[in-house]
Structures are given as C-alpha cells and as structure tokens.
Amino acid sequence: MARDLTTAYKAEITGLVTRPFLLFQAVFDSGTIRFWNGLEPLVYDGNTYTGAGNLLSLSQIDETTKVESRGITLKLSGIPSAMIAIALAEDYQDRQITVDIGFFDSSGAIVVSPFRFFSGKADVMEIQDGGETATISLSAENDIIILQRVNERRRTHEDQKL
C-alpha cells in the first residue's frame, strides 16, 4: 500500500463502513475516455466519468516488495457490436491508463480525493464479439516497465550526435 496516503484517506480505508469507487481513464489520440464502476455519470475534478456498473471489471492488482512491473487488465462488457470498429481503428498501444480509488460518504459525496493506485501504458487489446454485444479487454503494464527496456544507445560519434 502507498505510504503517502492522507490521514483522512487512511480513516476511510479502516472505517467500519466503506463506500469505495474506482475511476478508470485512458488517453487516446481521438480523446480521453473515462469510466467508473457506478451507474450514473460522475463528475470529479471537472471531468465526467461514464457509469459502467458491473459491465466494467478490473483484474487483481498485486503489490510486491520487489521493484518490478505488474500489469492489470480492464474489461468492458456489453458494448454494441457496431462500436467495435471504433476500437479496432484506435491506436491504443503505449497510451496512458490510470486507475484511481476514492470513497463516498453516506450521502454520496466524495469524502477524500481519489488516490492513484495504478498508472501505466496500454499493451494488448482483445475483442470478443458475441453477435449483439462484445467485450473488450485491455491489458496495461505499469509505468515501471520502462526500467526493463534495453537501452539501444552506443558511445559512437554518430549516436552521440543524435
């Protein structure tokens, strides 16, 4: 768990009754899409998140004591098959994906600012078309994955000029 959580946030996590919610954001060339796991549109920080309810799911996010990249998979179900062409035409790889978690109070107001617990890059998209509706699964790798990439630079004169 993150070590920089506010006192108010820690109080919500450890409370007897919690009302958590998740905010998903993906930045594409055609625009940013935002979903949350509720039903109605949610406005937070000047942005409107579309309620996807149970049609939106998130794989387990693991935390380790090692410095290593752990990925996630976001799944959106019940998409009209006619909209699949939009997903197929979008250049999605290496686009920014974020997942935040926040809490509501008993009246439905956001108690504390949502905390970003995943930030990464889109990797692989899978589409399962079921005729009337389809399911899109988008896997993303944590931003720390860049530490595992091989540096292709050399100490030649031409490379240094680049």
- Residue 68's pLDDT band, with cuts at 50, 70 and 90, is low
Contact in structure between 48 and 60 (CB atoms under 8 Å): no
pLDDT computed for residue 37 by the predictor: 93
- Residue 159's pLDDT band, with cuts at 50, 70 and 90, is confident
Q: Give the rounded percent of residues in the chain with a pLDDT score beyond 70.
A: 85
- φ, ψ for residue 82 (rounded to 5)? -65, -25
As a whole number, mean pLDDT of residues 99-122 equals 87
Contact in structure between 114 and 23 (CB atoms under 8 Å): yes
Q: Which residue in this structure is represented by tokens 């030649």?
A: 156
pLDDT computed for residue 146 by the predictor: 56
Two tokens at 48? 């409107």
Residue 43 has pLDDT above 70, yes or no: yes
- Residue 55's pLDDT band, with cuts at 50, 70 and 90, is confident
Please write the tens of the pLDDT for every residue from 12-25.
778 788 888 999 99
How much is the mean pLDDT over the chain? Answer: 83
Q: For residue 115, how many C-alpha atoms fall within 13 Å in the half-sphere facing its CB?
A: 17
- φ, ψ for residue 114 (rounded to 5)? -60, 145
**pTM confidence score:** 0.76
As a whole number, mean pLDDT of residues 124-145 equals 85
Work out the widest C-alpha separation in the chain, in whole angstroms: 65
